[in-house]
Amino acid sequence: MDIKIHGDIGGWWDGVSAKDVFSQLASCPKGEDINVSIHSYGGDMFEGVAIYNALKQHPSKVIVTVAGIAASSGSLIAMAGDEIRMPENAFLMIHNPWGFVQGESKDFADAADLFAQFEASMATVYAKKSGKTVEEIRQIQDATTWLDGPQAVEMGFADTVIDAVQIAAFAHMPKSIAEGCPAKFVKPEAEPVPAPEPEPEPALDPEPEPEPALDPEPEPEPDPVPEPEPKPEPAPEPEPEPAATAFDPAENAAEIVELCQLAGRPSNAAAWIREGKTADEVRGILAKLQLDGQAPVAPLNTAPQGLTEELQEAAKTNLTVRSYLAKGEIDKAIKHLTKEN
C-alpha cells in the first residue's frame, strides 16, 4: 500500500489529515508493506502525532521515504518508519513546536508549561529512533536543526541514503521555515503559450449592386393582431429530499480511532469497533467519562493533570490559528477564532 503525505499536515487547510491516513490504513491488506512518501514542511502538531501513532501501531512493515523535505511534524511522522530512506539531497528539520497565546499572565505561564510537555513528548520520539538521549535531542530541537540524507543517517534519524531527486517547490511555505531551509527547489515548468492564429485575409470588394428601382406606392398596413395573454407559469415542483448518506464502516472505524487517540484512550478503540458502536456513540461515551472524572482527557497524553480542558482546547485553537497566520490566511484565522469563541 502507498500513502502520500505531501503538503500541509492537518485537514483545516486542505492538507493531509489523520483521518485520511486512518481510512487508508483500515483498508490495508494483511501482511502488505506500507510505503509512506513524505514531502511536507509540517503543520498541525496534534495531527502529526496522531498519524505517527497510527503508523507505529500498525502490524505491517512501514517503509518511509523522504521525497524532499520532512520538517517539523513531518519529521515526527517519518520516525514511525521501520525503515527510513532519504535521498542525499533531501532534508529533515527538527525543532520545538510553536504557536500563539492570548490572555493574562497566568494563561501565558500555563501555556509555557503545556508547550514544555509537547517538546518533551516529541523529544522522546526522536530519541527512541536515533538512540540519543532526550537531553541531546532537546539541544537539537532548540537549535532548529536541518539534516540532509547522509547527516540524518549518521545521527540515527534515517537508515539508508538513496539517489538524489528533484525537490518540488511548495505552493506556499511559512517564512519562518523557508528562511532556514537549505533545499534547492525545482519550480514546475510553465505550460507553453499557444501561438496566436493568423488573421484571415480581407475579402475582395464585391461588385457594386445595381441601383434599386423606384419603390411602388406603399400598401396600407394591416391592423395589428392583439398579442395573446401570457399563460400562467406552472408552480415549481418540490425538490426531492436528499438521500441519506450511506454508512461507511471504514470511515466510522477511522473516526473512532481518531477520537480515542485525542482522548488518550487508544486501547479502547478496537473493542468499541468490534461491538459495532458508531462514532457518535463513542463520542458520547468519552464525554461522559470526562465529566465523571474517570478519563484524564488530554491531547496526545501530553497535557499535565493540573491544566483545565479549556486551556487544552485553547492551545489546539492557537496552534491552528498559528498555521493560518504563517501562510497569510488571515480571514481563515479570524473565522476560526470567531467560531471557537
Please indicate whether residue 105 is annotated as part of the active site: no
Q: Which residues, at least 6 apart from 123, have a Cβ–Cβ distance to it below 8 Å?
A: 134, 137, 138, 141
Q: Find the Cα–Cα–Cα–Cα dihedral 324, 257, 56, 5, rounded to 10°.
A: -40
The type of residue at 209 is E
Q: What is the DSSP string of 37-59?
A: EEEE--B-HHHHHHHHHHHHH-S
Please indicate whether residue 95 is annotated as part of the active site: yes
Query: What DSSP state is assigned to residue 174?
Result: -
33 touches 63 (CB < 8 A)? yes
| Best CA proximity match to 69, nearest among 91, 87, 43, 52 | 91
| Best CA proximity match to 69, nearest among 26, 37, 38 | 38
CA separation for the pair 320, 68 (Å, rounded): 24
Cell numbers 487517540 correspond to: 261
Catalytic residue among 17, 23, 40, 72: 72
CA separation for the pair 98, 226 (Å, rounded): 78
First to last CA, the chain: 41
Catalytic residue among 17, 23, 95, 121: 95
Residue positions annotated with a catalytic role:
72, 95
